[in-house]
Structure 1
Amino acid sequence: MSTVPKRFEILLVAEHVEDRGGASVTDSAVRSAVVEVTGRHGETGYPIYEGHGIRADIDPETRTVEAILVDGRELDYGLTALVRLADRP
């Protein structure tokens, strides 16, 4: 298995937006957070990343969010979590 990235940025975007008016996904996200690997694995078997009120099990190879909690709650309907490598601090 490849090296697990230490940080990701999670973008929460509304699924129902059809036209962003030229705005990027980053600019139209309702919330974003940089999360860092905790060294633990979630029930999904993937590494847990946490930060800024978000806890997510992320498949580091496909960058897929397998489970997510936002402020201790499940993600609201109509929102999608997208993942990208975080910029270095």
Structure 2
Amino acid sequence: MSTVPKRFEILLVPEHVEDRGGAAVADSAVRSAVVEATGRHGETGYPIYEGHGIRADIDPETLTVEALLVDGRELDYGLTALVRPAAAR
């Protein structure tokens, strides 16, 4: 029996960043948000996570964003959404 994580952090990172000069991915993010499970599943079949203007269908096993809305709109070209476990509060 697998358990679905309750919370993730989503980082929106420019695709064109090739050399971060030793900086972490989080330092290159133009926006980040902690999203929490809603208990619903999206059209993709994966759990929906929402928070801070971001709604995402996330595959919790592979940490893949299957669908994403930022402030109600699709992600701008040139940005990539990365997912990582949210820090414990």
Q: Which category of TM-score, normalised to the shorter sequence, fits these structures? A: over 0.9
Q: What is aligned with 1:63?
A: 63
Deviations 1:59-80 (A, max 9, x none): 0111100000000000000100
Q: TM-score, normalised on structure 1?
A: 0.97
* Structure 1 segments unaligned to the other structure (5+ residues): none
Deviations 1:38-79 (A, max 9, x none): 000000000000000000000011110000000000000010
Deviations 1:4-37 (A, max 9, x none): 0000000000001111121110111110000000
Q: What is aligned with 1:38?
A: 38
Q: How many residues align?
A: 89
Q: What is aligned with 1:85?
A: 85
CA root-mean-square deviation? 0.7
Identity %: 89
* Structure 2 segments unaligned to the other structure (5+ residues): none
Q: TM-score, normalised on structure 2?
A: 0.97
